[in-house]
Amino acid sequence: AARMRASSEFDATVRGGVRAARPSVVVHARSVDDEQRRVGFVVSKKVGNAVTRNRVKRQLRHLVREHLDETPLGTRLVVRALPAAVASSTDLSHDLAGAWQSSLRKLERRR
């Protein structure tokens, strides 16, 4: 229910929001006047073949569930996986947590 699907939402979040990067992920965040938290995922072909990309997407969806409750309402986030996301699920978890918190802090400063 919290997944972002429209390309216009992805574009608006990436272009109009803040960005926090780690070696395996980049998190873009944007505030909107809404009462929902929405998250979208971008895993390009540079990450690997279809099987690898889908595995990374599943891992990211699982990891994002842990952080969604602490995210303020009206926040849109785009999580973009980098080729290093394939290396280790532990590293991916740490990188996502760090980038997620950093993007929310940057977003709060912008408000």
Task: State pLDDT tens for residues 4-20.
Answer: 999 999 999 999 999 99
Query: So what's the pLDDT on residue 87?
Result: 86
Confidence bin at 2 (pLDDT 50/70/90): confident
List, in order, residues 6 or more apart from 108 with CB less than 8 Å away.
Answer: none
User: Which residues are bridge partners to 79 per DSSP?
Assistant: 27, 41
Query: So what's the pLDDT on residue 109?
Result: 93
DSSP H helix total and E strand total for the chain: 3, 4
Q: Coil, helix or strand for 22? A: coil
Query: So what's the pLDDT on residue 1?
Result: 76
Query: pTM of the prediction?
Result: 0.93
What mean pLDDT comes out for the span 67-80? 94
Over pLDDT 70: what percentage of the chain? 100
CA dist 34 and 31 (Å) reads 9
For the cut 90, the answer to whether the pLDDT of residue 89 exceeds it is: no
> Could you give the C-alpha distances from 50 to 45, 46, 57, 104, 109, in angstroms and in order?
8, 11, 10, 30, 38
CA dist 11 and 38 (Å) reads 14
